[in-house]
Amino acid sequence: MKVHVHLAYGFGEDRWGRRFDSGELIGVNERDPYGYRHAMPMVEAMTKSVDHPEGRLGRLVRLGLRAVLGFDVLHAWRNRRAMRAADVVWTHTESQHLAVSQVFALQRLTPAERPKLLAQSVWLMDGWDRLSGLRRAYYRRLMRSADMLTFHSQENLEMARQRLADRPSELVLFGINASEQTPPVRGQAGDPQRIIAVGNDVHRDWPTLIQAVARHPDWRLRIVSTKCPAALAEGIANVEIAGVDNNDDLKALYRQATIAIVPLSPNAHASGITVLQEAALNGVAAIASDVGGLRDYFDADAVTYYASGDVDGLEQAIDGLLSDSEKRYAQAVAAQHRMGPDGLSSYAFARRHVEISQSLVGETRSPAGRRQAAVA
Domain presence at residue 220: yes
Among 42-51, 190-199, 251-260, 309-318, the range scoring the smallest mean pLDDT is 190-199
Please tell me whether residues 149 and 225 are part of one structural domain: no
| HEC letters along the chain | CEEEEECCCCCCHHHHHHHHHHCCCCCCCCCCHHHHHHHHHHCCEEEECCCCCCCHHHHHHHHHHHHHHCCCHHHHHHCHHHHHCCCEEEECCHHHHHHHHHHHHHHCCCCCCCCEEEEECCCHHHHHHHCCHHHHHHHHHHHHHCCEEEECCHHHHHHHHHHCCCCCEEECCCCCCCCCCCCCCCCCCCCCCEEEEECCCCCECHHHHHHHHHCCCCCEEEEECCCCCHHHHCCCCCEEECCCCCHHHHHHHHHHCCEEEECECCCCCCCCHHHHHHHHHCCCEEEEECCCCHHHCCCCCCEEEECCCCHHHHHHHHHHHHCCHHHHHHHHHHHHHCECCCCECHHHHHHHHHHHHHHHHHHCCCCHHHHHHCCC
Residue 258 shares a structural domain with residue 142: no
User: Is residue 210 domain-shared with residue 164, that is, in the same domain?
Assistant: no
Residue 185, domain member (yes or no)? no
Query: Mean pLDDT over residues 179-193, rounded?
Result: 85
372 in a structural domain: no
For residues 30 and 144, membership in a common domain is answered with yes
Clarify whether residues 352 and 302 are in a common domain.
no
Same domain for 217 and 270, yes or no, is yes
Same domain for 239 and 123: no
**Res. 82: pLDDT tops 90:** yes
> Taking residues 232-255, what's their average pLDDT?
92
> Could you tell me if 312 and 353 lie in one domain?
no
Question: Is residue 35 one of the residues assigned to a domain?
Answer: yes
Total domain count, the chain: 2
Residue 263 pLDDT: 98
Instruction: Tell me the CATH number at 215.
Output: 3.40.50.2000
Residue 10 CB neighbours (<10 A): 11
Q: Specify the pLDDT at position 367.
A: 39
**Residues present in the chain in total:** 376
pLDDT at position 375, please?
35
- Torsion sign across C-alpha atoms 192, 271, 97, 53: negative
pLDDT in tens, 202-230: 999 999 999 999 999 999 999 999 999 99
| Spatial distance between the Cα atoms of 90 and 108, rounded to a whole number of angstroms | 20
Mean pLDDT score, 245-265:
93
> Average pLDDT, whole number, for the chain?
92
Domain with 360, as residue range(s), is 2-176+344-365
pLDDT the model gives residue 376: 33
For 194, 205, 218, the CA distances from 231, given in Å and listed in that order, are: 21, 14, 21
Instruction: Please check whether residues 331 and 353 belong to one and the same domain.
Output: no
Has residue 309 got a pLDDT over 70?
yes
Mean pLDDT of 94-119: 95
Please say if the pLDDT value at position 190 is more than 80.
no
Any domain includes 184: no
Are 131 and 212 in a shared domain? no
Is residue 60 very low, low, confident or very high in pLDDT (cuts 50, 70, 90)?
very high
* pLDDT tens digits along 340-371: 999 999 999 999 999 999 999 984 444 333 43
Q: What is the pLDDT of residue 365?
A: 42
Find, among 44, 36, 45, 51, the residue nearest to 5 by Cα: 36
Same domain, 219 and 265: yes
Is residue 56 a part of any domain in this protein?
yes
Q: Is 165 inside a domain boundary?
A: yes
Does 27 reside within a domain? yes
The mean pLDDT value for 56-74 works out to: 96
Same structural domain for residues 127 and 78?
Answer: yes
Report the chain's terminal Cα–Cα distance, integer Å: 22
Q: Higher-confidence residue: 323 or 18?
A: 323
Q: Is residue 293 very low, low, confident or very high in pLDDT (cuts 50, 70, 90)?
A: very high
